[in-house]
Structure 1
Amino acid sequence: MTVVETERAWAQAEFEERLRAVVERHYHDRHPFHVRMHEGMLSPAEVRRWISSRFYYQQNIPVKDALITAKLGSPELRRMWVRRIEDQDGREGDEGGIERWLRLGEAAGLDRAGLLAGRDVLPGVRLAVDGYVNFCRLRPLLDAVAASLTELSAPDLMRRRIDALERHYPWIGPDGLAYFRARVSQGRRDSGEAMALVLQWARGRAEQERAVAALTFKCEVLWSLLDAVDHTRREDPR
């Protein structure tokens, strides 16, 4: 009988480099829609369409983080991860990411009640976001945590986005940019915590490859969300 030798695990430094490479190559900052946003080429209607559809993702961040928290096996880890839910839902003295995104929508001329009701959320956006939530519900803990590592590029993207919105879209009031300012530090903290867990848990080659695949899937979710918004622009160029 021939014994098939299991592939050797990547060294930790190589594994981390592969995870970071996924984000560098596939993060949605490279999507044509984001490129146009940063170059100041979006119309007000396109910006509002992105804000309203992206709000559905914002609403589901605490949902997917609650699913991840339920899988964690120690009070210390649950306390660490539950902070992400509070970052979105808010806590005493901090309005939270969902409220800050609503303020962004209002600063861009959108109706708060309409955002909360999801009236303008595109079907493709719902499909992508619901797929990500179900991924976190059904997949093992390692996969769900690894998928969150798109946060590795979030701080840089937030800084570029703030600069682009201030420069090219001054009709959005400055109070509307609070969400992006908060995510600079939160994204750096969150990605550092998640990376430490993934490096600790993914010891074998198969687990490491699963983590890379999970992160690739999350990049595809974010890309698909923008595909839906961008496709609507081509159908309705208002």
Structure 2
Amino acid sequence: MSDPTSALGGEEFVAALRGLSHRYWGTHPFHHRMHAGELSEHELRVWAANRWYYQSVLPRKDAAIIANCPVPAVRRVWLDRIVYHDGSTDRGGESGRERWLRLCEAVGLTREEVLDERYVVPGVRFAVDAYVTFARTRPWVEAVASGLTELFSGHLMRRRVGDLLAAYDWIRPADLAYFTNRIDAVSGEGKSTVDIVVRYCVTRAEQDRAIAALSFKCDVLWSMLDAIERAVAKE
């Protein structure tokens, strides 16, 4: 019988992280309805406006990781995430924030409505703020591990693009640039993030905390969709 306190081997540790895939929000009933084409235009607008709040705080979450991380090489790698979401005057190109705002406009929201957060429901705000607080207050490698939901997101994004275009004929391919642009990036980031977590979580206790951090992130995402689903059900 293996010692439950001994460190997992690298492959075993990664398998334990990947074993949380069933907890990812891709399996949530709201997402099932979205992919099946069963959401109304109103429901899509509520989803897009609330998901915006999550997208908008990701640079702050990543900045918290950088602030807490003493390893220059990791900080340099992680900085690219902030640049992706916020954009860069040096690199040009459209930011992740702008791509999400474009999707919001495609489903019938104005930029003003999204930016002033008038449709963000309390449950979504609470869950997302808790995620930022986690990144600020927990050891940096645990915050990094919480982002390993990107291990599960590439496949979902590919399916989402096809399903949304097929089910909602007012959405154009260009409106889904956030997803199409992000698919390849998530694949690469997933591997680099796993490498960081495996390298710096060397004891069983550290590995268990990394797994718990990823579980927490899954809870955050699931709670967001629960809150969105309750909000549209009441209207």
Specify the SS of the correspondent of 2:37: coil
Q: 1:21 aligns with which of 19, 22, 26?
A: 19
Output the CA distance in 1 between the equivalents of 2:35 and 2:112.
28
Judge conservation of contact 1:149–1:215 (CA < 8 Å) in 2. Answer: yes
Question: Pairwise mapping of residues 2-41 of structure 1 onto structure 2 (< 5 A)?
Answer: 7-22=5-20, 24-41=21-38
Judge conservation of contact 1:150–1:215 (CA < 8 Å) in 2. Answer: yes
1:77 Cα offset (Å): 1.8
Does 2:76 align with 1:46?
Answer: no
Q: 1:87 aligns with which of 80, 84, 87?
A: 84
Using structure 1 for the length normalisation, give the TM-score.
Answer: 0.94
Using structure 2 for the length normalisation, give the TM-score.
Answer: 0.95
Aligned residue number for residue 190 of structure 2: 191
Aligned residue number for residue 111 of structure 1: 110
Judge conservation of contact 1:107–1:175 (CA < 8 Å) in 2. Answer: no
Identity across the alignment (%): 47
1:124 Cα offset (Å): 0.6
Does 2:84 align with 1:69?
Answer: no
Instruction: Return 5+ residue gaps in structure 1 as ranges.
Output: none
Q: Which amino acid aligns with 2:187?
A: R
1:81 Cα offset (Å): 0.3
Judge conservation of contact 2:53–2:117 (CA < 8 Å) in 1. Answer: yes
Instruction: Return 5+ residue gaps in structure 2 as ranges.
Output: none
Q: Which amino acid aligns with 2:121?
A: L
1:74 Cα offset (Å): 3.2
**1:10-67 CA distance string (max 9 Å, x none):** 1111111000111x21000000000111111111110110000000000000000000
Aligned residue number for residue 223 of structure 2: 224
